[in-house]
Amino acid sequence: MLYKEKTIMLKNGQLCTLRSADSGDAQEMLDFIRRVSGETAFLTRYEDEVTMTANVEAEFLTSRLLSTREIMISAYIDGKLAANAGIDSLPPRDRLKHRAEMGISVLREFWGLGLGSVLMEAIIESAKAAEYEQLELEVVTENERGLTLYRKFGFELYGTRENTFKYRDGKSSACHLMLKKL
């Protein structure tokens, strides 16, 4: 799905452009994923596990643009990728087609400026346009900022899975399972 480009002003007055990344953005996208993965323990990957090549990432971004129901929305500040969010379908079966999963990440230097909220609005609007009936996500129980963001947009907690993440130091984290009816 193509996201129609839009520019908004953040809480600190900086301008931010939301648009679909395309194949030409692949290397920057990989650098972003690596950086954001290294900045937080709340995403699924360690930064050294971001091993896709730029070609593979370019194909992925193109497939997202061509998809009728899956989307990536990227946020650019001063022309640089600052945040990213996406909607994934479940397997293409009639019994699952009403559900979608979402993910979001913002570079740490831009936290607290409203970027997460702007992307959540765009994701919810896109999920409705794609005719999903519910959006689902998982969030590490210690991720207070994420939980605040999701509750603000009407996600409700319906369960908690222990031991969802197992870190390299042997510690583990539980995840809350959240859902928003669209």
Ligand X SMILES: CC(C)(COP(=O)(O)OP(=O)(O)OC[C@H]1O[C@@H](n2cnc3c(N)ncnc32)[C@H](O)[C@@H]1OP(=O)(O)O)[C@@H](O)C(=O)NCCC(=O)NCCS
146 binds ligand X (CB under 6 A): yes
Q: What are the angstrom distances between the C-alpha of 53 and each of 65, 119, 180?
A: 19, 26, 34
81 binds ligand X (CB under 6 A): no
Rounded to whole angstroms, how far apart are CA atoms 133 and 89?
12
Shortest Cβ contact with ligand X: which residue? 116
User: CB of residue 107 vs ligand X: minimum separation in angstroms?
Assistant: 8
| 58 versus 124: smaller Cβ distance to ligand X | 124
Sign of CA dihedral 152, 158, 162, 166: negative
86 binds ligand X (CB under 6 A): no
User: CB of residue 168 vs ligand X: minimum separation in angstroms?
Assistant: 18
Per CB under 6 A, the list member of 126, 139, 155, 176 interacting with ligand X is: 139
74 binds ligand X (CB under 6 A): no
| 97 versus 99: smaller Cβ distance to ligand X | 99
114 binds ligand X (CB under 6 A): yes
* DSSP string across 35-66: HHHHH-SSSS--GGG----HHHHHHHHHHHHH
DSSP assignment, residue 2? P
Residue 103 CB neighbours (<10 A): 15
16 binds ligand X (CB under 6 A): no
| 71 versus 113: smaller Cβ distance to ligand X | 113
